[in-house]
Amino acid sequence: MAVDPHTRWMAVAADILNAPTPGLAHDLFADELMRQTRTELVARIALPRPDPDAITITVEARQTVPPREHWPVAAQARAHPLSRYYSTTTDRSPVRLTDLIAAGWRLLPEQRDAMGALGITVHQMTLPCGADDGSFDGWVAINEDGFSDDALAELTGLQGLLVGLDRHVQMFARLSGSHDPAAADGPALTPRERLVLDLLAAGSTAEGIAARLAISPRTVHKHQENLYRKLGACDRLSAVLSAQQLGLLPAPGGALTTEPQRPVAPQPNAAQRHTT
């Protein structure tokens, strides 16, 4: 029996609000957003209005992340039709890139080339989360097959709740002094492996993780096997300890701390999640 999206998101909201770390809160949100939009890739993009050269991008993908050396710099992102739309209109509702193109918002050849280098399509749908200040701050979902009218309507109906959850996650990260548990020197974990690791560290059982992620316990055990192999661990405790030593999880009694960064020249990184 299908679960109503609002009901499912309310359950996810409880998990996010009770998450002990900002990394787990973020992973729960991104995982459910991918499920909601039926995508394999979502990105959170912030283009602060006061600084035209500033950009923050966090990419989540089920499998591989597009090569970081091809990620856009601020000027390229601001020239994208989605960014131009939000900077020149008062609309802050979700939109589809294909609708903007059909309405005359031109996608330049060099922008199509850049998207090709990233391996992404024109099938992009936004979830604006920022203030009405003429800049874009929010999520972009990307898939191969496009987004239906029902998918757009569902996301629009959920926007108020999702924006509130996103703001909680962002504030939690700032107050904790950290957000990105995917350490540069650590092994490359898929988003699902990272989420399973977070839930293992929080004390969840395999059955509890399976119920939370709507997957089978057998799939959870497979993720655990992959985690143990990548972390050089033999059980849950050694996996958590190894992840803490590698900076993939906060150390007991503390949070990971990193300095905020602005991209100068994107550098390749094999990690499954990247934040610049």
Given this model, what pLDDT does residue 50 score?
Answer: 80
249 Cβ neighbours under 8 A, 6+ residues apart: 21, 23, 181, 197, 198, 201, 240, 243
Is 133 inside any structural domain? Answer: yes
Tens of pLDDT, residue by residue over 171-184, are 998 887 654 545 54
Residue 250, domain member (yes or no): yes
Q: Is there a single domain that holds both residue 135 and residue 219?
A: no
Tokens for 178?
């950290």
Q: How far apart are CA 29 and CA 91, in angstroms?
A: 24
State how far Cα 26 lies from the chain centre: 7
Residues 88 and 169 grouped into a single domain: yes
- Is residue 88 situated within a structural domain? yes
What range does the domain containing 133 cover?
5-176
- What does the pLDDT look like over 49-97, one tens digit per residue? 888 899 999 888 877 777 778 888 999 999 999 999 999 999 999 999 9
Cβ atoms of 15 and 211 within 8 Å: the answer is no
Domain C-terminal end among 124, 141, 176: 176
Is the pLDDT confidence value at 268 over 90? no
Report how far residue 257's alpha carbon sits from residue 181's, in angstroms, rounded to the nearest whole number.
9
Neighbours of 265 (CB within 10 A): 6
Same domain? For 172 and 91 the reply is yes
Please give the average per-residue pLDDT across 227-254, as a whole number.
85
Please give the backbone phi and psi of residue 127, each rounded to the nearest 5 degrees, phi first: -130, 85
Q: Are residues 217 and 85 in the same domain?
A: no
- Could you tell me the CATH number of the domain that includes residue 196? 1.10.10.10
| Nearest residue to 128 (alpha-carbon basis) of 119, 142, 139 | 139
Does residue 103 fall inside a structural domain?
Answer: yes
Name, of 64-73, 108-117, 135-144, 189-198, the range with top average pLDDT: 135-144
More confident residue, 27 or 256: 27
In a domain, 183, yes or no: no
Residue 271 in any domain: the answer is yes
| Cα 27-31-36 angle, rounded to 5 deg | 145
- Residue 43 pairs with which residues in a beta bridge? 59, 140
- Domain count along the chain: 2
Q: Are residues 152 and 116 located together in one domain of the fold?
A: yes
Residues 208, 172 within the same domain: no
User: Which of 176, 201, 220 is the last residue in one of the domains?
Assistant: 176
- Rounded to two decimals, the pTM is 0.75
At residue 104, the pLDDT reads 95
Question: What distance in Å separates the CA atoms of residue 220 and residue 222, rounded to the nearest whole number?
Answer: 5
Question: Do 247 and 135 belong to one domain?
Answer: no
Locate the DSSP E strands across 9-167.
Answer: 41-46, 56-61, 124-128, 137-142
What CATH number did the domain enclosing 101 receive?
Answer: 3.30.450.40
State whether 43 and 153 are in the same domain: yes
Determine the pLDDT at residue 270: 34
Question: Could you tell me if 194 and 272 are in contact, meaning their C-beta atoms sit under 8 angstroms apart?
Answer: yes
Residue 215 has pLDDT above 60, yes or no: yes
| Within a domain: 262 | yes
Averaged pLDDT of the chain = 84
Is 70 exceeded by the pLDDT of residue 254?
Answer: no
Q: Are residues 219 and 149 part of one domain?
A: no
Residues 1-46: tens digit of each pLDDT: 667 899 999 999 998 998 888 888 998 999 999 999 999 899 999 9
**Do 33 and 126 fall into the same domain?**
yes
pLDDT at 185: 60
Higher pLDDT, 114 or 94: 94
- Check whether 276 has a pLDDT greater than 80: no
Is the same domain home to 136 and 197?
no
- The residues, any chain, with a CB within 8 Å of residue 160's CB and separated by 6 or more, are none
pLDDT, average across residues 193-206:
88
182 part of a folded domain: no
Residues 171 and 259 in one domain: no
